[in-house]
Structures are given as C-alpha cells and as structure tokens.
Amino acid sequence: MTPYVHVEIPLVPVRLIYYTTVSCGVRRTGAGNVDFYNGVKTRLGQANLRKLEAIDNPSLHQFIAECIELCAPEKVFVCADTPEDMHYLRESALRRGEEAPLAIEGHTIHFDNYADQGRDKKNTGILVPPGMDLGAAIETKEREPALRDIRAILKGIMAGKEMSVCFFCLGPTNSVFSIPCVQITDSSYVAHSETILYRPGYREFLREGRRKPFFKLLHSQGELDERKTCKNLKNRRIYIDPMDDIVYSVNTQYGGNTIGLKKLAMRLAIRRGAQEGWLTEHMLIMGVHGPGRRVTYFLGAFPSLCGKTSTAMLQGESIVGDDIAYLRTKSGELRAANVEKGMFGIIQGVNSQDDPSQWKALNSPGEIIFSNVLVTPERGVYWIGKDGPVPPQGVNHSGDWWIGKKDNDGKEIPPSHPNARFTLAIESLDNVDAALHDPEGVRVGAIVYGGRDSDTSVPVEESFDWTHGIIMKGAALESETTAATLGKEGVREFNPMSNLDFLSIPVGRYVQINLDFVRVVKNAPRIFSVNYFIKGRDGKFLNKKTDKRVWYKWMELRVHGDVDAIRTPTGLIPRYGDLKKLFREVLSEEYSENDYRDQFMLRVSENLAKIDRVSHIYKTVVTDTPEILFSVLEEQRKRLLDAREKFGEYITPDKW
Ligand code: SPV
Ligand code: MN
C-alpha cells in the first residue's frame, strides 16, 4: 500500500526516557540479544522464559523485564496462545473472583466499582513533551512529571500477585493492517477479555521478531475490595505515551480504561497512521446486502452509546466490526479492516425483537463476559430493556440490589448500569461477515456519520461530495453525552468523526488528513449522515429503532446510483416513494407521507445555530483548522438563509 499523505507530527524523538531512568532487568549480550537478570528469571520460571526467548526481539524483552522490576509481581505468566494458556487465563479470572460463573455454560459476570463504570476522560491523557501542543480539545499531560507520577503509583503494585504477559495483534494477522502488541496486566478479567476481543499475537511476534514496531500496554488494577473491584480510584490514571508507544493504566477495571488494545492503543495508532498515511477511526464495518447478491461495505462512526453496535448488527446485514477500523488506500480503493475480532457491546435495550442475532448469542452457551448487569438468585442475568419483567432482587454493580434501592445521593439505582456490556467473539454471531479476517480488509462503498441529536438533522442524508461530507457530516458532528463516559449526560458536545475522545494529533490536522485521504481513490465512498434520535415538537422520537434498516437499504441503492435523491441546502434526502417501497419490502410496514414530512422537514434555525457553534469551536478551541472548513460552513449557511427567505423556518420536502 502506498502512503501518499506525509504528515510530520512534531514529537521529539527522544528514546525511552522510561527505560533509561530505571535499572534494567536485562543485560544486552552481543548481536542485540538480551539476557534476563536473575531476579526477573526467578519470577518468570523456566517455561515462561522459554516462551519469551523464542521471540527474537530484545526491546520486547527489555520492556517486559522493566515492567517486572517496576511492578514487582510475585510471579509471571506468559501466554503463548496455546489452548492450555488460554484456558489458564479464563480459569484465573474465576479463581481470583474477578469473574463468577453464570447459569449458562461459558457465561461469566464481572463487576467494576460503582464509580468505575465508564471511560474516565479527566484522568486520561496523552503525554507530551514541553512545547508540544495538541490543542485545547485534546487532554494532554506534561510527559516527564506524568511518567514520574504513574511510575510512583505502579512501583511494587503487583507484590504478591501474578502478572500476565499476553501477545495480541491489532487488525488481521499477517497483513498490512497488523500491529503486534504486548499487554501486561495483573487482571485476569482484562487478559481474558482481550483473548475474546483480539486476534492472538504470539505467532506474530515469533514471525516478525524485531522487524515490526509494536505497542506496549501496561495495566494494574491495584488493590481490590471484597467484591474484587478497584479500591484506589483516586489514583486512577490512564496515560498514553506516543513517544515510546506505551500505554499505562492503573487503579481501574472498566474495559474502556484498561483493555489496552481498545481505546488506549487506538490513540497510538491514530498518531502512527497520521505519520504513515492511513487512518484509525471509531467506526463499525458492515456488509449491507443490496438487490441480487450485492454486498456493499459501509463504515459507520458514532459516539459511544449512540447506536453503533446495533447498526453493525442490523437485521438482514452482516457484521465485520462494531467499534474500531483501520482505513488504508490501495490500488485506487479505500479498504478497511476491523482492528478487533470481538465485541464489547452495550447491552441496555437488547431484546429478542429488535436484536435477534445478539439475543440468540447472549442466550446460548459459549464464552461471554457480562459486565455490570443484574445477576439473579438463579444466576441468570437481567439488563434494562431485556424481555420479561424486572427481577425483584439480585446482585449488580452496587452490590445486593432490590427494586427501589437508592444510592448515597438518593438516586434510584437501576437494575443494570446504562453502560453495562457484554464481551463476545464476533464469530459466535450468526450474522458474521465472511470478510472478518480478510488480510486485505474490505472495499468501502460508503461512510456514515451519526450522533445523538434531538433537534437538528434529518434521519438520513447524503452529502454533496467527499469534502462536504467530511466537513458537514464528520468534522461538524455534535452529540449529546452518554453514560459511556463519566460525567453529566445529555450535554451537546462537539465530537468530530465521533473520534475526539481518542485523537492524539491536533484536530485541524486530523480533519485535513481526512479531506486528503481519497485523493488516490477512483470512486470515493459516498458520505452520509444519520440521526436516530430526532424528536418532534411533542418531545417524542420521530423514528422507531427498526427504521434504520430502511435507511441503510436506501443508502446502498444510492451508492450504486439505483435511486434519485432530493437536493436540499444540507444535502441529498430520499424521495418519499423510494422509502415507501423500502418500508414495505424491508419491514412490511406502510410508511405515511405525514411521517416522511415530519422526519425530513428541514429545521433552518437549528441548522444555522449548529453552523454558529461549529464555526466558533473551529475558530477558538481548534487553532489549526483548514480554511476550507469555514468556506464549506459558510456556503451551507447561505443556502439555508436563501431557503428561509423563500420557504420559511420549517421546510417540508415537498417544497424542494
Ligand atoms: C466506547 O465507549 O466507545 C466503547 C467502549 O466502545 S470503551 O471500551 O469504553 O471505549
Ligand atoms: Mn467505542
């Protein structure tokens, strides 16, 4: 693959401050080999040592030895991806009480601390050297003091515990997308989750030796309470150090803060991609099945808890991934691969009617970790929105639970946390797409951007072209906050490409890279927006959950030029007749002209207000905004003002 975007990221290439400030557990012997010191050797034991020595990679050995010296575990387990090693990790999670078995075979429950139920944005930061500025929209910490701080917290933190050293691969193995990773953790839950979520990487390390750069991920859950949840949340830290490709996470268990390969390595990958000419996106990948046997691959970017997994799992379509995608250009095509092979999905609202594939998997034997749901006395599970009545009592993220239980602030505790999740292998779903592990990825036909927007955008709309799409659908994306992150819910926030939380490069540069990305692509994918959350004047949602099945079929037809669309100031919207036909074919439902009018009515003031907000942010919070962003915003403003002049404030589609 030819990288064609070359971007200098201003990071000073200082090598391994981390390594040079600690005494090393390894000694270099000729030819770059590394000899583990005795203290490290003793903790590793012969069998583990052999597994490590089989890998020809001195800097890997050095990193592992230094983590052992720093965290001082009593013993170390190295996972070489054999069935026995995988079994050992699963069993450890049960033996140590980080997970407990449920009634259905293979199902387990894990709880995070009551105050550790989402991504902790405040204590997560990209480490930057003095003088480096990623802009006010990105949380950064000054590198050296932050390293000193986290190293002090990590010092001796694994005393009396076992450390696991695991190898994984981001992206399909043996592919241009692959990035090998080493995960070190004292949490069997984290290690176990990763064996479900990521492709095994030990062989990748054996094959690549020292040739391929790799990511290093160090996690400790710290001290646990009697429920096996984190005790020292005040010392929770999640630091991403792009200069050394290392991620540190400590005193937290919630997956989004601890599963190093997920949102933590994602920050490292965004920066690496920016340097090498590829993209890391917060995107699902799905096959949308069109007329005949046509399959068109879609990417979809949604903020957390805004319908990404349920879209990836749409009935009638097939899933490649539901959270993170790598995008590369090759031979005039845009191609994408799922970074993961499993799903850490939101469980709230999953029911037998709307989510048959998930429902089936969640109710069948097989390896699934449920987190922060309610466990009934029969060791079944219940979550908000599950079929059937709410059990009167059980155990959940708050401990013993009963209907009406209140927390210390007098707030009623729901049976499950809104961010409760399930972890399972995508291969266990009956709608898995055949291209899941394709080392070439899939060819992308369309990109969809969507946020939680109750009052502005129509349910589905195509952009005029790539630039308009990247700017108006992606860079201008806003969404109301959710329970996926700690803090207040329902606050409208700017979230470019649904990726803001994970950016490790300045926002303006990121937008520019997106704008440039398809320069070598012959037929650039079409860009759409969707809004599943638009409400009417009565405050009720205008769409049913299942309506999105129609939107995707319509978009698929548009990609192939099979239907026309109506041009409005904000983009191209469906014609009533096409939707009516699709509602009948896909959902066996009648779609009324009234519904169409309400849903696709252009709200001029709301759209103008959004342009004001977005323009303000790109002038103040973001300081390296590409000029073209402002001209595209202003062109859209002019189209809206002209339309208002002609048709008024609220414009139904029949006016166009
Ligand atoms: C998200 O919050 O976007 C998730 C789950 O996909 S987490 O692992 O918390 O990032
Ligand atoms: Mn996500």
pLDDT tens profile 560-602: 999 999 999 999 999 999 999 999 999 999 999 999 999 999 9
Nearest atom (ligand 1) to Cα of 323? 6
Q: How far apart are CA 154 and CA 151, in angstroms?
A: 5
Tell which one of 124, 197, 323 to mutate to probe ligand 1, the residue whose CB is within 8 A of the most ligand atoms. 323
Structure tokens at 19: 């390594």
Using a 6 Å cutoff on CB, does residue 484 contact ligand 1? yes
- Between the CA of 304 and the centroid of ligand 2 the distance, in Å, is 5
Residues by chain with Cβ below 5 Å of ion ligand 2 = 304, 323
Q: How far apart are CA 181 and CA 165, in angstroms?
A: 10
Closest CA to 126 of 327, 265, 233: 265
Residues marked as catalytic:
306
What is the predicted pLDDT for the residue at 33? 56
Structure tokens at 519: 């320069």
What is the predicted pLDDT for the residue at 302? 96
What is the predicted pLDDT for the residue at 483? 78
Q: How far apart are CA 188 and CA 181, in angstroms?
A: 17
Contact 216, 245 (CB under 8 A): yes
Query: What string of DSSP letters covers 339-365?
Result: S-SEEEEE-TT--TTT-HHHHHHHTSS
- Between the CA of 107 and the centroid of ligand 1 the distance, in Å, is 21
Domains annotated for the chain, with CATH where assigned, are 76-276 (3.40.449.10), 279-342+434-655 (3.90.228.20), 344-427 (2.170.8.10)
- What is the band of 31 on the pLDDT scale with cuts at 50, 70, 90? low
- Between the CA of 282 and the centroid of ligand 2 the distance, in Å, is 6
What is the predicted pLDDT for the residue at 34? 61
- Between the CA of 484 and the centroid of ligand 1 the distance, in Å, is 7
- What is the band of 350 on the pLDDT scale with cuts at 50, 70, 90? very high
Average pLDDT over residues 408-437: 97
Using a 6 Å cutoff on CB, does residue 215 contact ligand 1? no
Tell which one of 117, 261, 263 to mutate to probe ligand 1, the residue whose CB is within 8 A of the most ligand atoms. 263
Using a 6 Å cutoff on CB, does residue 256 contact ligand 1? yes
Tell which one of 304, 422, 502 to mutate to probe ligand 1, the residue whose CB is within 8 A of the most ligand atoms. 304
Average pLDDT over residues 273-296: 97
Nearest CA to ligand 1 atom 5: 256
Q: How far apart are CA 120 and CA 254, in angstroms?
A: 9
Using a 6 Å cutoff on CB, does residue 90 contact ligand 1? no
pLDDT tens profile 3-26: 333 444 433 322 333 333 334 566
Report helix, strand or coil for 461: strand
What is the predicted pLDDT for the residue at 103? 98
* 141-150, 274-283, 397-406, 477-486: the lowest-pLDDT one: 477-486
pLDDT tens profile 458-508: 999 999 999 999 999 999 999 988 877 788 888 899 999 999 999 999 999
pTM: 0.94
pLDDT at residue 86 is higher than 60: yes
Contact 64, 182 (CB under 8 A): yes
Ligand lying nearest the CA atom of residue 305: 1
Enter the DSSP assignment of 498.
Answer: G
